[in-house]
């Protein structure tokens, strides 16, 4: 059975906020410490199929993911997963999910931002310590009313912080990579240039995500632009700011102080910034409120449960999401998609240049993106090791396979139908299928020739000329080999023209029998097929 690991839950907030014990798994292991050594991390996580990460604390580079062969799902308690090598996750077929639409999480981070702004400008930490040591009023605090609040990144969090700034009668200026004057004004801020943001701010608060672009954005150059009376506040991600540049700026009195909830390396147990009295630090508390953690934990537990029980994948960032409501509707179509892709893949012997998937009837009204991914996975499985619905679109792109998806409103011969056309450098091959009333998949057309065949674990595909004796020959040959025929589906384009057969047999066909069938002059193609019908 499946095993789940919950990582870096220092205060056991995630563990206690959801009913993890109700999940249908072998075990749920809670780890409240972060392992930085890769070999030790791999040894710990090797048995687990599902990993819940807590706020990007444990890093998953490619060299770690490649050594976790059991891993199928990473569910993160955050809106992004900057700690995961997504290229490697895609390549390895590991689904990665995030948590979204948790309003209290944004509120908790913006609330902490303002707690830090007030604490650092009013010298609260210093005064608290001095008073406990017998001192009284050791320094004069600074007010913030009428001062300028600079917002680096005006998304949801930046907008909340800006709103609080207006309540404190601050002038708000902002810059963001996608921000413009109109959007800034709509949120109560004045849009400024990058340099103006740093040179004009009395308090500069960072609210951009950590990306390859934003890593190391705030450097010695930016600190050189800031007022010596200004403060830096970072509740986003540590690596956005060059810590050594910040340390130098504080030592050289280029800025008055800093308030930090995030650090370049976390958990941060040692840091030169900790010894500076003009710096206030907190241990990444942005989303660490009871309300936020409960909602996040409940969402990630639901993701894990849906994934295990029905295959639903919500808020996935590297595959089409499937809601818990959609999963039961899509499940029979997923099986049909896999059969059609697998059928085409097992018969393709030359390089694929294009794949077209058409959805007609009832299926066209559903979420078809996951079905397309499943078709591609089935198609490429005979050619690519470890391909699945997560990495199949990426593999197709890497192989320069053009993928098209078409929905038809029309109703054809069947109430619902999927058609897959595979184009190679030699030919095009088409196969279509439907679901009968019992949701059992049927192959109903191959190369435009109608038929009715239910996929079974072992099948024999025959393309032949429509001449007498073929059926008898096949029956005799299989009988002599001790192979029992379960069902025999036939179709032809016209009398005396091309014909096909899909024969369900009770066991895999041996090479000698297949060779004997291929030797018949009336048979143009014979292939032993294998379908996963579990």
Q: Which residue has the tokens 């900790």?
A: 274
Active site residues: 237, 266, 284
Spatial separation of the C-alpha atoms in residues 294 and 13, rounded to whole Å = 7
CB 52 within 8 A of CB 296: no
Q: Are strands 416-424 and 352-361 parallel, antiparallel or unpaired?
A: antiparallel
Which residues make beta-bridge pairs with 259? 233, 280
CB atoms within 10 A of CB 214: 19
- The sign of the dihedral angle between the CA atoms of 405, 408, 409, 411 is negative
Helix (H, G, I), strand (E, B) or coil at 445: strand
Burial 228-261 (b: 16+ CB within 10 A, else e): eebbbbbbbbbbbbbbebbbebbeeebbbbbbbb
**What's the order of all strands across the beta sheet hosting 95-97?**
27-31, 3-7, 50-53, 73-76, 95-97
Angle at 70 between CA 72 and CA 63, to 5 degrees: 90
Which residues make beta-bridge pairs with 405? 357
Spatial separation of the C-alpha atoms in residues 360 and 420, rounded to whole Å = 12
Residue 247: φ, ψ to 5°? -60, -45
| Preceding amide of 267 cis, omega within 30 | yes
As given in the structure block, the two tokens for residue 281 are: 């630090």
């Amino acid at each position: 059975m499946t095993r789940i690991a919950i990582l870096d839950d220092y205060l056991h907030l995630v563990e206690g906020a959801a009913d993890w014990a109700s999940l249908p798994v072998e075990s749920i292991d809670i780890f409240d410490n972060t392992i930085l050594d890769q070999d030790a991390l791999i040894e710990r996580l090797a048995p687990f199929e599902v990993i819940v990460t807590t706020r990007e604390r444990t890093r998953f580079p490619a060299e770690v993911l490649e050594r976790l062969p059991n891993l199928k799902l990473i569910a993160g308690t955050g809106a992004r997963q900057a700690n995961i090598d997504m290229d490697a996750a895609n390549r390895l077929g590991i689904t990665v999910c995030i948590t979204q639409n948790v309003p209290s999480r944004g509120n908790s981070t913006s609330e902490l931002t303002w707690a830090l702004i007030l604490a650092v400008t009013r010298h609260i930490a210093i005064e608290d310590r001095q008073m406990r040591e017998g001192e009284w009023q050791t320094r004069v605090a600074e007010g913030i009313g009428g001062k300028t609040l600079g917002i680096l990144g005006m998304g949801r969090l930046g907008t909340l912080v800006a709103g609080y700034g207006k309540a404190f009668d601050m002038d708000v200026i902002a810059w963001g990579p996608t921000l413009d004057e109109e959007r800034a004004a709509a949120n109560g801020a004045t849009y400024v240039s990058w340099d103006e943001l740093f040179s004009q701010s009395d308090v500069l608060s960072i609210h951009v995500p950590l990306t390859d672009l934003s890593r190391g954005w705030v450097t010695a150059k930016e600190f050189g632009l800031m007022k010596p009376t200004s403060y830096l506040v970072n509740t986003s991600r540590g690596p956005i700011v060059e810590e050594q540049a910040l340390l130098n700026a504080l030592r050289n009195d280029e800025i008055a102080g800093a308030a930090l909830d995030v650090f370049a390396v976390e958990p941060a147990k040692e840091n030169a910034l900790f010894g500076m009295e003009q710096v206030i630090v907190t241990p990444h508390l942005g989303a660490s409120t009871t309300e936020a953690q409960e909602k996040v934990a409940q969402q990630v537990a639901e993701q894990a449960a849906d994934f295990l029980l029905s295959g639903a994948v919500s808020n996935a960032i590297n595959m089409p999401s499937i809601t818990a409501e959609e999963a039961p509707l899509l499940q029979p179509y997923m099986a049909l998609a896999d059969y059609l892709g697998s059928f085409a893949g097992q018969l393709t012997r030359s390089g694929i240049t294009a794949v077209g998937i058409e959805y007609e009837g009832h299926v066209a009204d559903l979420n078809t993106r996951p079905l397309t991914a499943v078709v591609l996975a089935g198609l490429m499985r005979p050619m690519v090791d470890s391909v699945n619905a997560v990495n199949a679109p990426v593999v197709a792109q890497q192989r320069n396979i053009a993928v098209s998806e078409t929905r038809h409103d029309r109703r054809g011969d069947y109430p619902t139908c999927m058609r897959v056309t595979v184009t190679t450098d030699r030919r095009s091959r088409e196969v279509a299928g439907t679901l009968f009333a019992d949701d059992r998949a049927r192959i109903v057309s191959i190369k435009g020739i109608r038929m009715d065949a239910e996929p079974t674990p072992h099948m024999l595909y025959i393309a032949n000329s429509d001449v007498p004796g073929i059926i008898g020959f096949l029956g005799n040959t299989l009988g002599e080999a001790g192979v029992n025929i379960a069902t025999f589906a036939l179709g032809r384009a016209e009398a005396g023209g091309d014909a096909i057969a899909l024969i369900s047999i009770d066991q895999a066909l041996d090479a000698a029998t297949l060779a004997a069938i291929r030797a018949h002059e009336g048979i143009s193609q014979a292939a032993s097929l294998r379908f996963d019908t579990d």
